[in-house]
């Protein structure tokens, strides 16, 4: 299941979410092998979920390892992120594969390329993930000369991550009287009702916490990340506030 496929003859990329109704009908009527899934090059089947979400799936018979299914909210959120980045005038693509110098592979939910060539991956995480995995995956992007910004859900991801960070940094609390509940990795938070529910309007993004907390429309938050406005000053992130 994915949002992109490639034309077999031209390798041209096709996006499920951006195809017009006429284009989608034509894709659904195309013969097997017209479209191929990225990376596996297996015939792709255009499908539409019961919620009306368009996507591509491997044609039956594929014997390889299928990608882990994404939730409805995950897919809708990454589509909104790529649309917002494009509205800002940036080159933005979904489900972009790459690797670090050691051969460690990655697939960015959204990869934004700036005019000067700098690249930023926006990774959506709506399920709990260990702190070490956030760090490992962020470092893998850095080795690939790609910045990384995580978009995480308030529940359960941020709540559990904040507890892990506070516990890990008890020495800092004892010395300074402040809990470190933010990760040094860049993160934007989103409030969703569940992984199978997504609002009609784009959700706001939350940045940092406490006195530094900001709630912003998606384009403003993405623009700020790309312009390197967030600044890390332990124990929290600051939205460009002078020291």
Please give the tally of structural domains in the chain. 2
**Res 35: pLDDT:** 97
**Res 241: pLDDT:** 56
52 and 162 co-located in one domain: no
**Res 88: pLDDT:** 98
38 and 146 co-located in one domain: no
**Res 221: pLDDT:** 98
198 and 88 co-located in one domain: yes
Asked whether residue 131 is assigned to any structural domain, the reply reads: yes
State how far the Cα of 135 lies from the Cα of 137, in Å rounded to an integer: 6
Residue 11 sits in which domain range? 4-58
92 and 19 co-located in one domain: no
Please give the angle made by the CA atoms of 194, 197 and 200, to the nearest 5 degrees: 130
Three-class SS state of 190: strand
Q: Look at strands 54-58 and 186-190 and give their pairing.
A: unpaired
Three-class SS state of 21: helix
Contact 123, 149 (CB under 8 A): yes
How many CA within 13 A on the CB side of residue 103? 0
**Dihedral angle over CA of 234, 119, 134, 197, nearest 10:** 110
Q: Where residue 11 falls among pLDDT bands split at 50, 70, 90?
A: very high
Asked whether residue 65 is assigned to any structural domain, the reply reads: no
Paired tokens of 168: 């890990």
**Res 68: pLDDT:** 86
Q: What are phi and psi of 153, to 5 degrees?
A: -80, 150
Q: Single out the residue of 49, 24, 31, 64 nearest to residue 198, CA to CA.
A: 49
Q: Where residue 43 falls among pLDDT bands split at 50, 70, 90?
A: very high
131 and 220 co-located in one domain: yes
**Res 110: pLDDT:** 98
Q: Please state the rounded mean pLDDT for residues 120-129.
A: 97
Three-class SS state of 10: coil
87 and 53 co-located in one domain: no
19 and 133 co-located in one domain: no
In whole numbers, what is the pLDDT of the chain averaged over residues?
A: 95
Contact 211, 178 (CB under 8 A): no
Residue with tokens 């460009």: 240
Paired tokens of 87: 């509205």
**Res 177: pLDDT:** 95
Q: Please state the rounded mean pLDDT for residues 205-231.
A: 96
87-117, pLDDT tens digit by residue? 999 999 999 999 999 999 999 999 999 999 9
**Res 157: pLDDT:** 97
157-189, pLDDT tens digit by residue? 999 999 999 999 999 999 999 999 999 999 999
**Res 1: pLDDT:** 77
200 and 145 co-located in one domain: yes
Q: Where residue 26 falls among pLDDT bands split at 50, 70, 90?
A: very high
Please tell me the pTM assigned to this model. 0.95
**Res 17: pLDDT:** 97
Q: What are phi and psi of 78, to 5 degrees?
A: -70, -30
Paired tokens of 155: 């529940």
Q: Single out the residue of 55, 1, 9 nearest to residue 31, CA to CA.
A: 9
């Amino acid at each position: 299941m994915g949002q992109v496929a490639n034309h077999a003859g031209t390798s041209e990329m096709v996006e499920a979410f951006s195809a017009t109704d006429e284009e989608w009908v034509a894709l659904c009527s195309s013969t097997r092998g017209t479209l191929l899934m990225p990376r596996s090059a297996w015939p792709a089947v255009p499908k539409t979920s019961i919620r009306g979400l368009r996507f591509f799936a491997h044609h039956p018979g594929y014997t390889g390892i299928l990608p882990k299914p994404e939730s409805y909210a995950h897919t809708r959120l990454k589509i909104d992120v790529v649309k917002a980045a494009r509205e800002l005038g940036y080159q933005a693509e979904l489900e972009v594969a790459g690797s670090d110098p050691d051969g460690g592979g990655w697939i960015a939910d959204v990869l934004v390329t700036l005019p000067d060539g700098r690249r930023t991956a926006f990774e959506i995480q709506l399920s709990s993930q260990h702190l070490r995995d956030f760090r490992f995956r962020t470092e893998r992007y850095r080795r690939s000369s790609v910045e990384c910004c995580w978009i995480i859900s308030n529940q359960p991801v941020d709540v559990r991550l904040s507890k892990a960070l506070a516990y890990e940094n008890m020495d800092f609390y004892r010395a300074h009287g402040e809990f470190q509940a933010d990760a040094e990795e860049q993160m934007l938070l989103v409030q969703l009702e569940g992984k199978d529910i997504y609002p009609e309007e784009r959700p706001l993004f939350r940045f940092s916490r406490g006195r530094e907390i900001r709630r912003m429309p998606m384009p403003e938050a993405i623009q700020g990340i790309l312009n390197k406005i967030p600044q890390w000053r332990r124990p929290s992130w600051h939205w460009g506030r002078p020291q």
